[in-house]
Structure 1
C-alpha cells in the first residue's frame, strides 16, 4: 500500500441490498455499487460481505489507491467489545460474530456500526448537519430509527439500543402489533403507510379513480395512489395522510424535547414527498414540542439520501485508522526516547 493515496471502503448492509463505496479522506464518494443481499444468511452472507469488500480493494487498486480501512453498518445492534451483531432482517445474524470474521478474512482496520449511527455520522461529516454537534437523524422507511449525536459524540446506550425511536409510545390504546415494532413504527413508518393505504383502497375502491388500475389487487403502489388522492382532496385519503403526519410530528416533537438538538435530519422514503409529509411535519411538531427547544432546532431533509450510511461507515473506519496511526507513532516516539535515554546512561 506504500506510495498510494488513501481511500476508505464503506459497506452498507441491508436486509435486501448491500451498497458499497470508496470514499477519500476528504469525504468525496469516488465509487459506488449495489447488489442484492444473500438470502442464505449466516456465514454465507458474511462471506458475501468479504467478497464485496475485496472487490472494493480491487477497484481502488485500479485507481492507484490503497484501502487500509473498511467501515460497515448493519440494520441492527452491534456489541462493541465482542463484535457480535444482531440483525433481524438477515437470516442467522443473531449474536453472529461478524467483526471477528471480517478481521480474520480482510486483514485491515475494520469497524462495524449500526445503520442509525452511520446515518448521523454521515450527515454530520458531509451532509446537511456539517459543523453541528447536537444532531438527530430520524430515518422513516420500512421501519423507524434515530441516530443520536450529543455534544459531538454518538449515543449508543447500554446495549446499542439508543435511538430505537420506532418504540416511542404515542397513543394510550395498546395494540398487539406494537409488541413487534413499537407504536411509532407500527403507525407511521413507510410500511405502515403502505398497509393502511392498501386497506383504504380495499374499503373505498373509488379511490382507484386516481390510478390507471381498476382492481385493488392490481395496485402495485397503494401509497402513490392514496397520495395522489389526498392531493386531489379525497376526504378519506386526506384523513389517512393527516394521521401519518400527526404521528410523525409527535415523534419529532418528543425527540426535540428530550434531546434539545441543533438539527433534526429527516431521511427515508416518506420525506421524498415534501408536500405530503416534510412541510406539514415541520409545521405541526411545534404544537407538541418544548417551546424553547422548538425555536432553536432546524428541521431539514437529508442532503445525502441513501448515501448517508456509506459516508458514516467511511467516517467510522477513517477515525479508527487515524487513531491507530497516532497510537503507533506515539509508541515509536516512546521507543526512540527510551533508546536515547539508555545511550545517555552508558
Structure 2
C-alpha cells in the first residue's frame, strides 16, 4: 500500500509516492514559474497520473492522495486562496481533483501547507512524541501549523496559523494590509526587501552586498554576506532574529506548547541563529511556559510539507 503526496508552493511542486512507513518510493520536483490558474492544476494532475501509471501493474496499491497547498484552503468550499499563484484567489481545487481521481478509485485530501508541516513533523520529525507543538514556517511567506492536545487546529474557515499577520509593530503602514507586519519584515521576501531598502539608503556603502545589483541579490547572498560581516546583512538579519523571537514568544504565551519548530526555506541557513532567537523569545514569553518549551529546527527540512501531505492521505476519509 502506498499514497500519493503533493507539496505545492508558490514557485513549484513536489510529487511523491510514499509507503506506509513514510519511505519515499518515488519523488520529483517541478517549477511552476510562469504557470497560472488551471495550468497549475493540470500539472498536479499530470504528476498524479505519472505516479499511478508507475505502479499500475505492480503489487503496490494506491487508493489515496494528499495535497499540501499554500495560502488558505477552505474545506467547506473546496477552494484555495493562494495569492502568490496567479488565478488562485479562489481556485476550486477539491472539485477538480475529486472528479479527476474518482475514475481511478483514489480519494483526495487537501490541507494548507502549514497544517501539513506540523503533520509531517508529528509523523516522522521533531514532534513525534509531542501533543502540543507549533511549526513556524519562515519562507517566502510566514505561517504556523498548530498542534493542541494532539489535534491540529483549523479554525472557522481553515485559516488558523496565518502568522504573517501577527502585529509586531506599534505603527501601521498600508503594506501590512496585504502581507502582515511580521511577514513584511521577517519573511524571505521581507529580508530581501529590507536589504534592498538599506542599500538604497546607503549608496556609499563598501560592504559585500553593495558590490551587487540589488535586484539580483538572493537570500543566499545575504547569509553569505552576514558570514563575511557585511554591516547591512547583519543589521537586517539581527532585526529578523528579533521578530522571530517575539513571534515565538507570542505563540508560546498563547498556546503553551512543548516545542516551537522553526522551518521553511529560510531555516535552512537561519538555523545558525536558534540560540539568539531563544534569548529574544525568553525576554517576551510567559516565564513558566518558557522554562518548559523547546525551540528547535525542523528535522524534515524541505520535505516537511510532502511528508505531511502523505500523512494526510493516510488518515481515514
State TM-score, norm by structure 2. 0.91
Q: CA deviation at 1:23?
A: 0.9
How many positions carry a matched residue from both structures?
314
Partner of 1:290: 286
How many angstroms apart in 2 are the aligned matches of 1:39 and 1:157? 32
Structure 1: unaligned runs, 5 residues or longer: 1-5, 325-346
Equivalence map 1:175-214=2 (5 Å): 175-204=173-202, 209-210=207-208, 214=211
Q: Identify if the C-alpha distance between structure 1 residues 178 and 60 changes in structure 2 by more than 3 Å, giving closer, same or farther.
A: same
Counterpart secondary structure, 2:260? strand
Alpha-carbon distance in structure 1 between the residues aligned to 2:306 and 2:86: 22
Say if 2:299 is the partner of 1:303. yes
Distance apart, 1:218 and its partner CA: 6.8
Aligned pairs for 1:202-241 (under 5 A) are: 202-204=200-202, 209-210=207-208, 214=211, 216-217=212-213, 220-221=216-217, 223-241=219-237
Whether the 8 Å CA contact 2:274–2:295 is kept in 1: the answer is no
**Structure of larger gyration radius:** 1
Change (3 A) 1:162 1:220: same
Alignment map for 1:17-56 (pairs within 5 Å):
17-37=12-32, 39-56=34-51
What runs of 5+ residues in structure 2 fail to find an aligned partner? Answer: none
Following superposition, the deviation at residue 140 of structure 1 comes to: 0.4
CA deviation map 1:239-268 (0-9, x unaligned): 322211111110111011111011111002
Q: Which residue of 2 aligns with 1:256?
A: 252
**TM-score, reference length from structure 1:** 0.84
- The change in CA–CA distance for 1:38 and 1:242 in structure 2 (over 3 A counts) is closer
Residue 103 in structure 1 maps to residue 103 in structure 2: no
Alignment of 1:129-168 (within 5 A): 129-168=127-166
Q: Closer, same or farther in 2 for the Cα pair 1:36/1:120, shift >3 Å?
A: same
Is the 2:76–2:157 Cα contact (8 Å) retained in structure 1? Answer: no
Residue 334 of structure 1 corresponds to which residue in structure 2? Answer: none
**Are the equivalent residues in 1 in contact too, given 2:265–2:302 (CA < 8 A)?**
no
CA contact (8 A) 1:86 1:95 kept: yes
What is the CA distance between 1:90 and its match in structure 2? 2.1
Q: Distance in 1 between matches of 2:304 and 2:218?
A: 27
SS at match of 2:267: helix
**Which residue matches 1:269?**
265
Distance in 2, Cα, partners of 1:169 & 1:218: 28
Deviation at 1:201, TM superposition (A): 3.0
Residue 119 of structure 2 corresponds to: 121
Any idea what the Cα deviations from partners look like across 1:14-43, whole Å, max 9, x if unmatched?
Answer: 222010011111122222101122744223
Q: Tell me whether 1:86 sits opposite 2:91 in the alignment.
A: no
- Which of 67, 70, 73 aligns to 1:72? It is 67
Kindly tell me: are residues 17 and 246 of structure 1, through their superposed partners in 2, closer, same or farther at Cα, counting changes over 3 Å?
same
Question: Taking structure 1 as reference, are residues 24 and 208 closer, same or farther at Cα in structure 2, changes over 3 Å only?
Answer: farther
Partner Cα separation in structure 2 for residue 127 and residue 275 of structure 1: 16
Tell me the SS of whatever aligns to 2:22.
coil
Match for 2:10 among 5, 15, 19? 15
Query: CA offset at residue 272 of structure 1?
Result: 2.0
Q: Which segment is superposed worse, 78-87 or 154-163?
A: 78-87
CA gap of 1:13–1:269, structure 2 versus 1, over 3 A, is closer
3-state SS, counterpart of residue 271 of structure 1: coil
Q: Is the 8 A contact 1:20 1:33 kept in 2?
A: yes
- Larger % of helix: which? 1
- Pairing of 1:304-323 with structure 2 (within 5 A): 304-320=300-316
Residue 338 of structure 1 corresponds to none
